[in-house]
Structure formats: C-alpha cells, structure tokens
C-alpha cells in the first residue's frame, strides 16, 4: 500500500532528475571548476562535498607553499552555491518545476564572507556546506574547508539567489 500519489511520485522523479542535471552542470559545465581540478560529489541526502587535490599552480604564498586565498574562496563559493540550489530543488512545488530552468539561469551568489583560520597546507582540500537560512528566493549557507587530515582551514558564509 503506497502513501504516495502518482503525481507525487512524478514530481519526486522530476526533482531528482533536475538535481542530477545541476550536479552534472557544476562538475562539467563550469570551466573554472574543471580548470582548478574540483571534484564534485553528492550523497543521497544532498550533502555536497568538493575535493581538490593540491597542485603547485594553486599556491598563494610560495614561501610557505600554501593554498591561495582565492582558491579557498572559489571552493567555498562553489560548494555553497550547489548546496543552495539543491535545497531549492528539494523544496520545489509542482508549479515551480516548469520555470525552474529560466530561474536557474539567474541563480548566483549575492555575497560571501570567508574567514581564513589556518594556513592552507595539505594534499587534498575538502569543502562542505549546510543551509542555515531556507527560503524560496534566497538561501544562506555555512561552508567549511578542511584538509585530508581534518585540519580546519576556513569557514565561509554565502547568501545565494535561488528563486
């Protein structure tokens, strides 16, 4: 016995398909993400993780061989943006599906704060995010950057247009 109507099942499948398209977009159709080497992965519960293996081209301060602050900002902005959009898709109603594509074109970061906590040393950098303010038009995310040993390198807070 199912508690889900056929309409709900169709809506859920459509939303799942939209989410997959957006994840593919972030992985393959954002050239700067590819250029830096970002690897996007998303768990079933929409938990986004972006990994970036160290390369010398990412160096900011060459005395200390640490990550450029702009790379940190790029990873935090990207993981926050994808998390915000997946949150918006999850909350779509049936009548919001049809104009999602036109809305998607105008989604983007309104503002972002980055707090640099420790030098960006490591072999792999790992960015994660969670939504702290949920809304139909605007979502706010908290982001974190760690290295492969769990050292906490940076915090971010981003405000995103999502509708």
Q: Which two tokens stand for residue 117?
A: 């906590």
Q: Rounded CA gap, 24 and 19, in Å?
A: 9
Among residue numbers 122 through 141, which ones bind its own copies (CB under 8 A)?
A: 132-133, 135, 137-138, 140
Number of residues that bind its own copies (CB under 8 A): 51
Q: How far is the CB of 20 from its own copies (least distance, A)?
A: 17
Distance CA 30, CA 107 (A): 14
The answer to whether residues 140 and 64 touch, using CB atoms and an 8 Å cutoff, is no
Q: Give, to the nearest 10 degrees, the angle between helix 6-28 and helix 69-90.
A: 170
Q: Which is nearer to its own copies, 15 or 72 (CB)?
A: 72
Chosen residue from 13, 47, 94, 110 binding its own copies by CB under 8 A: 110
Q: Is 51 in the site for its own copies (CB under 8 A)?
A: no
What does the binding site for its own copies look like in residue numbers (CB under 8 A)?
29-33, 35-36, 56-64, 68-71, 73-75, 77-78, 81, 105, 108-119, 132-133, 135, 137-138, 140, 142, 155, 157, 159, 161, 163
């Amino acid at each position: 016995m199912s508690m889900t109507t056929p309409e709900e099942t169709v809506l859920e499948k459509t939303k799942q398909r939209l989410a997959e398209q957006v994840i593919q977009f972030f992985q393959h159709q954002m050239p700067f993400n590819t250029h830096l080497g970002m690897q996007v992965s998303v768990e079933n519960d929409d938990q986004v993780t972006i990994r970036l293996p160290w390369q010398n081209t990412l160096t900011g301060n060459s005395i200390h061989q640490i990550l450029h602050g702009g790379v940190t900002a790029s990873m935090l902005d990207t993981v926050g943006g994808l998390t915000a959009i997946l949150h918006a898709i999850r909350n779509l109603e049936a009548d919001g599906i049809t104009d999602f594509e036109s809305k998607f074109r105008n989604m983007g970061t309104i503002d972002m704060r980055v707090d640099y906590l420790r030098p960006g040393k490591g072999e792999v950098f790992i960015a994660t995010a969670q939504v702290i303010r949920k809304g139909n038009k605007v979502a706010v995310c908290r982001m974190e950057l760690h290295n492969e040993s769990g050292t906490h390198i940076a915090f971010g807070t981003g405000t995103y247009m999502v509708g």
